[in-house]
Amino acid sequence: MGRVHLGLSTPTFVDTIDEFLERTARDGWDFAEFNHLDLPPFSPELLDTGERARVKDLAADLGLEISLHAGDCDLLTLDPGFLRYSEDRILTEAELARDLGAVYLNTHLGFPERMVRPGKSLWADEHFDFQRRVAEAVRHVARVADATGVRILYENTYRLIEPLMEAINECSSPNVGFLLDVGHANIAGGVRELHSTMSRKGKLFALHLHDNDGRWDQHAPLGSGTLDLEGIELPPYVAVEVRNWDMALGTREEFRKRYL
């Protein structure tokens, strides 16, 4: 295993990029993940060319790498207008990643629409061909990644995990890969199972680290839930994704103690 870069995915309540970068560096992290890009202060709209260059230099001066977490675009939506917006949006975000020299841009695939019913919900992917939609989404992202030269990672959520893993493992672009969110995997899919499929073709590049009780997505500190990474080969980038600065430091300490 090579060196693992430990990063902080933005805790809530960050007012400025400078504040985030300075505190992240002060706390001894290797990289800072801007999470997420629909929100100020990280939205591409708020960062003109000069500001992007300044932020890139500031991070370098502080000895930090940058990664980005996409906003709520949805390449699976059945709404053609939102689909077009989402296709454009991922390009806008990849251009920001390129301008900031980000090591990766992480995104969610999107989520099939659901009608919530007592007892059993109705999901759009039970009624439409989402296998094809997932494959098309990955092809679009590969085009964007290749055009901008940015590494784009897909993160596992709770549905369509199998078709997503298949599409990425079959994708020929070296710029497209996986981020294993171990908290999500602890709820759906299983950490070991997803890790093994995502690693098979060398596409696993990063990991989101947070804990839960196996039932819902608590983004809790490591050690407070049932997460177990024993025996897992770690990818080069691990970003802690919990809810505040102190929980993040505690999670990093626990992670080092257990797994490094």
Residue nearest Zn ion, Cβ-based: 208
Instruction: Write the burial class of residue 231 (CB in 10 Å: 0-12 exposed, 13-18 middle, 19+ buried).
Output: exposed
Binding-site string for Zn ion from residue 176 to residue 215, where x marks contact by CB under 5 A and - marks none: -----x--------------------------x-------
Nearer to Zn ion, 33 or 99 (CB): 33
Nearer to Zn ion, 133 or 184 (CB): 184
| Shortest distance, position 208 Cβ to Zn ion, whole Å | 4
| Shortest distance, position 226 Cβ to Zn ion, whole Å | 17
| Shortest distance, position 8 Cβ to Zn ion, whole Å | 13
User: Per CB under 5 A, does 151 bind Zn ion?
Assistant: no
| Shortest distance, position 155 Cβ to Zn ion, whole Å | 5
Nearer to Zn ion, 132 or 158 (CB): 158
| Shortest distance, position 243 Cβ to Zn ion, whole Å | 12
**Residue numbers 220-259 binding Zn ion by CB under 5 A:** 241
Nearer to Zn ion, 30 or 241 (CB): 241
Nearer to Zn ion, 125 or 241 (CB): 241
| Shortest distance, position 108 Cβ to Zn ion, whole Å | 8
Q: Using CB under 5 A, list all residues that contact Zn ion.
A: 181, 208, 241
